[in-house]
Each structure stands twice: as structure tokens, then as C-alpha cells.
């Protein structure tokens, strides 16, 4: 019996180092996995794929396969990107996002086309609104003398009725007013109103100073040169004198 106990004791002493080493290995592994490594590293967040230029259905399948949701924005006309293809995405390709995050896709409406509307004879502001209604915009603005009121559309490029890509600019040629204009009567008006009336016919208000005048409203125009009714070249200056308090 004593011999058996001695053999068991010897076996335990022989195995003990291996048990200690094994236990230490388990402890080290636990520390690495659960203590040293951040919890988020166990499952890395997926990266957003590059979707620009892909057909919308293909882009949707890629996103859903990667675990993302799809959020569609309003289609935008584009001169070169085919209709139904992804024009822009947010977040950008390569970004790490959590599973289930939404990725916004802007889809190309293609190279939409529209007719340049009738613009001749319209004031500039009205012509601009007419262009915006069909998806166009005012591009360059040129002026030339004309008997029509200043700011009236004389011509456009491309011409009204032309079929053009949307969005796109349209150049407007506006009337600068006639080469000679009649000086309007601005006496009695305040300076701001007088200046606006002169500019409307293509003239420029120029200050001639201020003077007292009995019975006049302070700040109103009491003298002008040239006088009302005179014919002067378009762009001429009209000197205005205002009353003092």
C-alpha cells in the first residue's frame, strides 16, 4: 500500500508542471481575447462599396449583400451619366459603417432635353423664371441699343424653340435702351426714387450737392440737369440737387 501511494505521489509530481503550463495558457488566451482586444475588433464593421456608375439594381444588391440599407434621393439630370445609374453616394466608398446603416444613392435622370421657351420681349426677370420652369438657367447676359425698354430680351442663344440638354445655360441679349433717351422729370422725388427712374431709362444719377429751398421736403430733388424732356445719349449722367432741412 505504501508503495502504491509513493507511485501515485510521484505521478502527480510529474504531471503537475504540465497542468500549470496548460492553466497559464488558458489564462493568457482569456486575457488576450477578452481584455487586451477591444470588443469591437471581434467583428469589424463592413466597408461601404464603390457604387458610382453602377445601375441602381446592381448597387442595391451590393449594399444589401454587405448588410446596408438603401436610401434613394430624387433623380438628377446629368449630361453624361446614363439614366438609372448611380451619380453619387453617401457615405463615400471605403467608409466603415455599422451593419444596417443607410447609404444614400442619387440616381441620374439622364440627359433630359427641353425646348428653349419664348423669351423675346420679356423683361429679364420674367425670362429667367421661364427658363427655370423647364430646367434651364440664364447664362451670359449681353446688351445692345434698342428702342425697347431697357432690360427687355431682344434675342437668346440657343434660340427659342431649340431643343437643348437640361440643365444648361441660355445667353440673353437685352435691350440697353435707345441710343438717345428723353430725360424724365424727377423733381420732387426723393433721391432713391429719382435714381431708380433714371436708371430705368438708361441714365445715371449724379449728385450736384444740396441746397436749402423754402417749402421743399428735405432730401427731395429740387433741381436736375439736363432738364426734363431733353434728348441725351443713353448712359448720360443727370446731375441732381437735393434740398437740405
In-domain check, residue 46: no
- Condensed to tens digits (0 to 9), the pLDDT of residues 180-236 reads 889 999 999 999 999 999 998 889 999 988 999 988 899 999 999 999 999 999 889
Residue 218 in domain: yes
User: Which residue in the block uniquely carries the three cell numbers 441714365?
Assistant: 203
What is the model's pTM? 0.46
Short-list 139, 142, 169, 137, CA closest to 154: 142
Q: Report whether 243 contacts 211 (CB < 8 A).
A: yes
Q: What is the CATH number of the domain that holds 164?
A: 3.30.10.20
Identify whether 149 is part of a domain: yes
Torsion of CA 87, 93, 99, 103, to 10 degrees: -20
Q: What is the tens place of the pLDDT at every residue in 27-84?
A: 444 443 444 444 444 467 899 999 999 999 999 999 999 999 999 998 988 878 999 9
Domain end position, chosen among 107, 127, 143 = 107
Q: Are 163 and 114 in contact (CB under 8 A)?
A: yes
Grid coordinates in use for 159?
434660340
Q: Quick check: is 96 in a domain? A: yes
Contact status, residue 77 vs residue 110, Cβ threshold 8 Å: yes
Q: Does 167 lie in the same domain as 129?
A: yes
**8 and 23 housed in the same domain:** yes
Establish if 169 belongs to a structural domain: yes
* Residue range of the domain that includes 149: 113-175
Split into its structural domains, the chain has a count of 4
Look-up of cell digits 440673353: 172
DSSP 3-state of 145: coil
Amino acid at each position: 500500500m505504501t508503495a502504491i501511494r509513493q507511485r501515485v505521489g510521484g505521478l502527480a509530481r510529474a504531471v503537475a508542471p504540465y497542468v500549470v503550463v496548460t492553466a497559464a495558457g488558458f489564462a493568457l488566451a482569456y486575457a488576450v481575447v477578452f481584455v487586451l482586444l477591444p470588443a469591437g475588433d471581434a467583428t469589424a464593421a463592413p466597408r461601404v462599396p464603390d457604387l458610382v456608375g453602377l445601375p441602381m439594381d446592381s448597387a442595391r444588391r451590393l449594399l444589401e449583400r454587405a448588410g446596408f440599407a438603401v436610401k434613394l434621393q430624387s433623380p438628377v439630370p446629368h449630361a453624361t451619366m446614363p439614366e438609372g445609374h448611380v451619380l453619387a453616394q453617401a457615405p463615400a466608398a471605403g467608409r466603415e459603417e455599422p451593419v444596417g446603416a443607410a447609404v444614400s444613392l442619387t440616381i441620374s435622370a439622364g440627359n433630359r432635353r427641353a425646348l428653349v421657351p419664348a423669351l423675346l420681349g420679356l423683361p429679364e426677370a420674367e425670362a429667367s423664371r421661364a427658363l427655370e420652369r423647364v430646367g434651364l438657367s440664364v447664362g451670359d447676359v449681353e446688351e445692345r441699343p434698342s428702342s425697347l425698354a431697357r432690360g427687355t430680351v431682344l434675342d437668346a442663344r440657343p434660340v427659342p424653340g431649340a431643343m437643348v440638354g437640361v440643365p444648361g445655360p441660355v445667353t440673353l441679349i437685352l435691350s440697353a435702351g435707345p441710343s438717345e433717351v428723353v430725360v424724365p422729370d424727377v423733381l420732387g422725388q426723393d433721391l432713391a426714387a429719382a435714381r431708380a427712374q433714371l436708371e430705368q431709362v438708361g441714365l445715371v444719377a449724379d449728385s450736384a450737392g444740396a441746397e436749402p429751398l423754402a417749402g421743399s421736403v428735405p432730401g427731395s430733388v429740387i433741381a436736375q440737369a439736363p432738364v426734363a424732356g431733353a434728348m441725351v445719349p443713353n448712359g448720360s449722367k443727370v446731375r441732381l440737387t437735393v434740398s437740405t432741412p
